[in-house]
Amino acid sequence: MEQPVRADHGVAVRRKPKGRAGKRLAPYLLSLPGGFWLIVLFLIPLVMMLFFALETGDVLHGYQLTWNWGEFGQQLSLHKTEFLRSIWYAGAATIICLIVSFPLAYWIAFHGGKWKNFFLLMLLVPFFVSFIIRSLAWQFILSDQGIVLGTLKNLHLLPQNFHILATSTAVIAGIAYNYLPFTALPLYVAMERIDYRLIEAAGDLYSSRREAFMRVVFPLTIPGIFAAFLLTFVPAVGDYLNQQILGGVSNTMIGTIIQTDFLTTQDYPAAAALSAILLAGVLVLIFLYGRLLGSRTIEEYV
Amino acid sequence: MTDEIDPSHIDPSLWRGLSQPRYSRRQMLKYTGMGAGTLGLAAFLAACGTKGALPSGGGASALPNAGVGTASWWNKQTLHHQLEFANWPYYIDVSHGKHPSLIKFTQETGIKVDYREVIQDNTGFFAKIQPSLQAGQPTGYDIIVMTNNSPALGYLKEFGWLTPLDHSKMPNFDKYASPLVKNPSWDHGNRYTMAWQSGYTCMAYNTDEIKTPITSVQSLFDPTYKGHIGMMSDPQELGSVGLLATNVKPATSTQAQWKAAADKLNSQKSAGLVRNYYDQSYINALKNGDTVISMAWSGDIFQANLSGYKNLKAVIPTEGAMFWTDNMCIPLYAANPLDAMTYMDYVYNPSVQAVIEDYNNYVCPVPAAQDVIRTQLKDPVVANSPLVFPTASMVALSRPYYQYKNQTELNAWNNLFVPITE
Amino acid sequence: MATVATPSTGEAVRAEAVRRPPKKPWWRGKILPTYVVLVLIYLVTPILVMILYSFNQSHAKLPQVSFKWQGFTLHWYADVDGIPGLGHAFELTIILALLASITSAIIGTFLALALVRYRFRGKGATEQVMFLNIAAPEIVVGAALLSFFVILSSNIAILHSALHPGFFDLFLAHVAFCIAFVAITVRARLAGFDRSLEEAAQDLGANAWVTFQKVTLPIIWPGVLAGALMAFALSIDDFVISNFVAGNVETFPLWVYGIVHTGLPPQVFVLGTFIFIVGFGIAIGNLLMTQRKKKEKA
């Protein structure tokens, strides 16, 4: 075998003098812009706003920092139904998204070939069109006497009183629809880096296709599932637009309450307390979920 | 070659220790330190920014607009030939990408108008301009349009964030304004506001589904339409309709009457009669047939009729319909107040108003425009519509909203009616 | 699970499998692709409805979209800039989304690299902040940013014009809520990334930048692209946060949400159709380019 040509063409080159100092600085330099942006333009304003939870007063007379910890307890007991309902809706929608997206991401990653980018783009393109337009269209499609339900009712396949809109099903379906790309994309990204030869190797070792999937592919996709869950469930819990447009009387989610407190009743301490509880609850859930997936820590997965 | 440790020579327990971070005391201190630092900074900034809207002394003389809007103040103002006008979307005439009435205004007065449709709702817009006003900064707008039934307009007046109008410069208003908007209950003597357009919060129903004519607000509580009734989520609208349904005039109602109205609305909700509490999207539910009867705004129904939904009919019930008004006002620290005054009065000229009204189809504040629309613009549909030019009987049925005396009253109202929508 | 076979049997079985692949029914390989197409059709259904009704006639002076068919017309396509402010809002939104997605893609990728490869002070805290970023209700973040900008711009003279609510504030806010999405997506790609490839490149004399450009980036590119696309989708349709910090500036979502109060003009459906057609066109164009590349390689 001939001698490989050295990139430096035989001239002795000293190892890149980045050395220890460079290595130590690297993570800070890399994370500096992101960290700075997140802290200055997100964390500090957010914490400022959350401080309203501990203050008392009103718009007219201003707010005083009274360390009113009782506000949290009060808001929690007032709205625990909405909290639980939001978790239920978001959780159901996330599971639906995961189930729907998994085969989708699987096929695109492993068998997509030249169609890969096409399908990925087409997953997102409908969502470039404004949310309001999509929702208006869904309201029209799913209306009680509309194209879908009206036809089914005329064929007597459904009772006359049946309706999809203004039910919790509609809200869950709406959330699942609107967050689908946020589930499918991370799943795809994680699957795409799995080497297909691993599956072939499993086949060579006499495993059936199902076994190959369960014991080789699936465990390797767990980081993707976790990322997909995170990017779907977490924003969905605080979402309120789907419920406002597709829901009915008893479908109120916690996001709506926060919005009403903020804008209509201008009860900033209540809104801030609810937001803080929501954020804390979500962090706890993420932590528990990460633990549940195995003995590894969250950082390993995401 | 690399400076990493050769994995095969490591004891498994060390391997585990190296690869699994544990929360050491050092890390706890680190997190606490960073957390405390952020909290401290944020707390400092929070303490800076939560002044009340009212200055600490209280009293009218200490309001930010003290001394503004007096005769001598107005005498010092000059025309700058520039106007920043913030309005609701689709609320003015439009033709081929331009607003003819604004172009004509510029031709006649030389004032350039920067028209911005940035107001989506009252409280949201108020939340946007509040920080600037509180900091003593201009909002960037010379005219804004706020609805009288929203607490936002009340706050603006109460906190002294509006510029009082110059009554010597309102000849058109004095001559042509409709009695419904002159010296109104929400702004005695038109100190701060001039109406832009008004409207009725009435009822609408689907004539294909409901064959008997609807006349009373009690139909909104009729179990025949169970599950297909639309109500509004705005607490001022919802509470007012509840009061009307208990035969109370909202403008003079008492807190005990509010409670009775809330009880009625709550029993409507628990009986499952209401499909949903809508913001402005009630119209979609009506159009699609998901609701057959609903609270509605007069102009929306007029527009819907022209868009192919001829089966929707608006009704002013016998108990009365709430009459709301979107008002032009000049926020404090506006850069071009005299230009604003010029425009606001200009719009009350009947021939000007006719052009705007022909597109708008809400209730016109200038009754004299009716003739102009009929004869010059040749649009009988608009000219003859009682939803645009109310008849005398409709005027008699117009009900003003309750005006809150203070924050406590407003809170009491909201605490009764907001939970119904949740 | 088969017991340990003797070499001869095992070889024979494998040879058998190589010579005659197991017979699959013709539809086996078609289930998944059909499923994918069905899901895409489902995603696109409301868009198709929108496209259909963008050809709907309207007789009102202030025309609105209507789902009651009143006749076919191309009028709205001809009169696309008939609504003042709409076209400008649309252009602005596209520019903002492009800027925000590119910036957050760069920053988010760097952040992801830092988080996956190194242990450093503040790593855990940064991750928590990222989770908070995704979880925080937009309304709280929006109001918080607005007060923050106003406090800064009114108290610090140099920042006054820069931080007054407007385009720059929009840009800052949009990047802020996109970074975490990008970082998490790129991380999913980086997990298990083989560092030895990079070390090999460095041993061959490449410096850090060249290594990144020629080795790391191509491998994590799908993750970066996916993250950038998500950021673009988030930014182009953001309403709640934009509403607070936009000031005088109107973006397309702000405009649309605002006008729903009175009724959407049909031109909104036309613009929606344009967005979709352009996106679809890019997808098709990419497909054709990939096909041509393959042809050239072969």
Pick the CATH number of A79-301 from 1.10.3720.10, 1.10.10.10, 3.40.50.300, 1.10.260.40: 1.10.3720.10
Q: Do C143 and B127 touch (CB under 8 A)?
A: yes
Cβ-Cβ contacts under 8 Å between B and C: the total is: 134
Q: Do B303 and C124 touch (CB under 8 A)?
A: no
Range of the domain at B376: 60-198+325-380
- The reported pLDDT for the residue numbered C186 is 87
Same domain, B332 and B192: yes
Same domain, C98 and C241: yes
Same domain, C159 and C92: yes
**Chain B (270-289) residues lying within 8 Å, Cβ to Cβ, of chain A:** 272, 274-277, 279, 281, 284-285, 288-289
From the CA atom positions of chain B, what is the Rg in Å?
Answer: 28
Alpha-carbon separation of residue A219 from A104, C195, C219 (angstroms): 17, 21, 21
Same domain, B282 and B412: yes
B214 falls within a domain:
yes
Where do we find the tokens 């812009």?
Answer: A33
The minimum CA-CA distance between B132 and chain C, rounded to whole Å, is: 7
- The reported pLDDT for the residue numbered C19 is 53
- Residue A18: which of C147, C193, C208 has the nearest Cβ? C208
As given in the structure block, the two tokens for residue B127 are 């939340």
Same domain, B306 and B318: yes
Same domain, B80 and B139: yes
Same domain, B219 and B171: no
Q: Is the dihedral of CA C73, C74, C77, C78 positive or negative?
A: negative
- Residue C129: which of A43, A106, A128 has the nearest Cβ? A43
- Show the 3-state SS of chain C: CCCCCCHHHHHHHHHHHHHCCCCCCCCHHHHHHHHHHHHHHHHHHHHHHHHHHCCECCCCCCCCCCCCCCCECCHHHHCHHHCCCHHHHHHHHHHHHHHHHHHHHHHHHHHHHHHHHCCCCCHHHHHHHHHHHHHCCHHHHHHHHHHHHHHHHHHCHHHHHHHCCCHHHHHHHHHHHHHHHHHHHHHHHHCCCCHHHHHHHHHCCCCHHHHHHHHHHHHHHHHHHHHHHHHHHHHHCCCHHHHHHCCCCCCHHHHHHHHCCCCCCHHHHHHHHHHHHHHHHHHHHHHHHHHHHHHHHC
- In single-letter form, the type of residue at position C167 comes to F
Q: Do A37 and C183 touch (CB under 8 A)?
A: no
Same domain, B276 and B287: yes
Q: β-strands B293-297, B321-329: how paired? A: unpaired
Q: Do A262 and C43 touch (CB under 8 A)?
A: no
Report the alpha-carbon distance of residue A253 to residue A165 in Å, rounded. 16
Mean pLDDT for B71-92 is 90
Q: C108 to chain A: which residues are within 8 Å by CB?
A: 34
B26 falls within a domain:
no
Task: Report residue B220's pLDDT band, with 50, 70 and 90 as the boundaries.
Answer: very high
The minimum CA-CA distance between C236 and chain A, rounded to whole Å, is: 6
DSSP state of B299: H
pLDDT for A109-130, tens place per residue?
888 888 888 888 899 899 988 8
Q: Do B116 and C250 touch (CB under 8 A)?
A: yes
Mean pLDDT for A232-238 is 89
CATH number, domain containing residue C158 = 1.10.3720.10
C97 falls within a domain:
yes
Same domain, B193 and B205: no
Same domain, C209 and C246: yes
Mean pLDDT for C125-151 is 83
Task: Report residue A18's pLDDT band, with 50, 70 and 90 as the boundaries.
Answer: very low
Mean pLDDT for A63-75 is 83
**Chain A (99-128) residues lying within 8 Å, Cβ to Cβ, of chain B:** none
pLDDT of C45 higher than 70:
yes
The minimum CA-CA distance between C106 and chain B, rounded to whole Å, is: 26
The minimum CA-CA distance between C27 and chain A, rounded to whole Å, is: 15
| pLDDT, mean over chain C | 82
Same domain, C94 and C241: yes
Task: Measure the CA angle with vertex B209, ends B204 and B212; round to 5°.
Answer: 75
Q: Do C81 and B97 touch (CB under 8 A)?
A: yes
Q: Do C140 and A271 touch (CB under 8 A)?
A: yes
Q: A161 to chain B: which residues are within 8 Å by CB?
A: 227
Which among A15, A58, A59 is the top mutation candidate for probing chain B, defined by the most B β-carbons within 10 Å of its own β-carbon? A59
List, in order, residues 6 or more apart from A77 with CB less than 8 Å away: none
B108 falls within a domain:
yes
Same domain, C60 and C193: no
Same domain, C35 and C160: no
List, in order, residues 6 or more apart from A14 with CB less than 8 Å away: none
Number of domains in chain C: 2
- The reported pLDDT for the residue numbered A266 is 77
Q: Which residue in B108, B123, B8 sits closest to A267, CA to CA?
A: B123
CATH number, domain containing residue B234 = 3.40.190.10
Q: Kindly state whether B37 is in contact with chain A, defined as any CB-CB distance less than 8 angstroms.
A: no
Same domain, C42 and C137: no
C5 falls within a domain:
no
Same domain, C77 and C122: no
- How crowded is residue A194: how many other Cβ atoms within 10 Å of its Cβ? 18
List, in order, residues 6 or more apart from C76 with CB less than 8 Å away: C54, C55, C63, C82, C266, C267, C269, C270
Same domain, C100 and C227: yes
Q: Which residue has the higher pLDDT, B46 or A277?
A: A277
pLDDT of A263 higher than 80:
no
- The reported pLDDT for the residue numbered A172 is 94
Same domain, B187 and B117: yes
Same domain, B68 and B182: yes
pLDDT for B130-179, tens place per residue?
878 888 888 989 999 999 988 889 889 988 899 999 999 999 999 999 98
As given in the structure block, the two tokens for residue C280 are 């679809």
Which among B91, B117, B387 is the top mutation candidate for probing chain C, defined by the most C β-carbons within 10 Å of its own β-carbon? B117
pLDDT for B397-415, tens place per residue?
999 999 888 888 988 999 9
Report the alpha-carbon distance of residue A213 to residue A208 in Å, rounded. 9
Task: Measure the CA angle with vertex C159, ends C156 and C161; round to 5°.
Answer: 125
pLDDT of C83 higher than 90:
no
Q: Kindly state whether C114 is in contact with chain A, defined as any CB-CB distance less than 8 angstroms.
A: yes
Task: Report residue B49's pLDDT band, with 50, 70 and 90 as the boundaries.
Answer: very low
Same domain, C77 and C149: no
pLDDT of A15 higher than 80:
no
pLDDT of A10 higher than 50:
no
Strand partners, B144: B329
As given in the structure block, the two tokens for residue A201 are 């190797």
Q: Is the dihedral of CA A116, A121, A127, A129 positive or negative?
A: negative
Same domain, B132 and B269: no
pLDDT of B92 higher than 70:
yes
pLDDT of B65 higher than 50:
yes
Same domain, B225 and B316: yes
Report the alpha-carbon distance of residue B338 to residue B145 in Å, rounded. 17
Task: Report residue A295's pLDDT band, with 50, 70 and 90 as the boundaries.
Answer: very low
Closest-approach residue (CA) in chain C for A191 = C189
Task: Report residue A298's pLDDT band, with 50, 70 and 90 as the boundaries.
Answer: very low
B158 falls within a domain:
yes
The minimum CA-CA distance between A100 and chain C, rounded to whole Å, is: 8
| Range with the poorest average pLDDT among A165-169, B12-16, C46-50, C257-261 | B12-16
Task: Report residue C81's pLDDT band, with 50, 70 and 90 as the boundaries.
Answer: confident
Q: Do A299 and B159 touch (CB under 8 A)?
A: no
| pLDDT, mean over chain B | 85
From the CA atom positions of chain A, what is the Rg in Å?
Answer: 25
C-alpha B172, offset from chain centre: 26
- The reported pLDDT for the residue numbered A6 is 52
As given in the structure block, the two tokens for residue C156 are 């610090």
| Range with the poorest average pLDDT among A115-119, B204-208, B213-217, C15-19 | C15-19
C46 falls within a domain:
yes
Strand partners, B324: B199
Q: C262 to chain B: which residues are within 8 Å by CB?
A: 88-91, 299-300, 303
Residue-wise over A246-256: b if at least 16 C-beta within 10 A, else e?
Answer: bbbbebbbbbb
Burial of C194 (0-12, 13-18, 19+ CB in 10 A): exposed
Q: Kindly state whether B117 is in contact with chain C, defined as any CB-CB distance less than 8 angstroms.
A: yes
| pLDDT, mean over chain A | 81
Mean pLDDT for B2-18 is 54
Range of the domain at C226: 88-250
With beta carbons less than 8 A apart as the criterion, state whether B21 and C119 touch. Answer: yes
Number of domains in chain B: 2
C1 falls within a domain:
no
C21 falls within a domain:
no
Q: Kindly state whether B48 is in contact with chain C, defined as any CB-CB distance less than 8 angstroms.
A: yes
- Residues above pLDDT 90, as percent of chain B: 54
Q: Kindly state whether B88 is in contact with chain C, defined as any CB-CB distance less than 8 angstroms.
A: yes
Closest-approach residue (CA) in chain A for C113 = A30
Start and end residues for every CATH 1.10.3720.10 domain found in chain A: 79-301
Closest-approach residue (CA) in chain B for A79 = B422
C51 falls within a domain:
yes
C18 falls within a domain:
no
Q: B30 to chain C: which residues are within 8 Å by CB?
A: 121-122, 125
Helix (H) or strand (E) holding A285: helix A268-292
- How crowded is residue A106: how many other Cβ atoms within 10 Å of its Cβ? 20
Same domain, B330 and B302: no
Q: Kindly state whether B3 is in contact with chain A, defined as any CB-CB distance less than 8 angstroms.
A: no
Report the alpha-carbon distance of residue B379 to residue B361 in Å, rounded. 12
B51 falls within a domain:
no
Mean pLDDT for B279-294 is 89
With beta carbons less than 8 A apart as the criterion, state whether C172 and C101 touch. Answer: no
Which among A41, A48, A241 is the top mutation candidate for probing chain B, defined by the most B β-carbons within 10 Å of its own β-carbon? A48
C298 falls within a domain:
no
- The reported pLDDT for the residue numbered A301 is 43
Closest-approach residue (CA) in chain C for A184 = C226
- The reported pLDDT for the residue numbered C6 is 52
As given in the structure block, the two tokens for residue B133 are 């006003």
- Residue B290: which of A39, A144, A244 has the nearest Cβ? A144
pLDDT of A62 higher than 80:
no
Same domain, C194 and C279: no
Closest-approach residue (CA) in chain C for A131 = C237
pLDDT for A148-179, tens place per residue?
888 888 888 888 878 888 889 999 999 999 99
pLDDT of A251 higher than 50:
yes
pLDDT of A3 higher than 60:
no
The minimum CA-CA distance between C83 and chain B, rounded to whole Å, is: 5
pLDDT of A91 higher than 70:
yes
Closest-approach residue (CA) in chain A for C181 = A231
C-alpha C195, offset from chain centre: 28
Q: Kindly state whether A151 is in contact with chain B, defined as any CB-CB distance less than 8 angstroms.
A: no
C-alpha A213, offset from chain centre: 25
Same domain, C113 and C224: yes
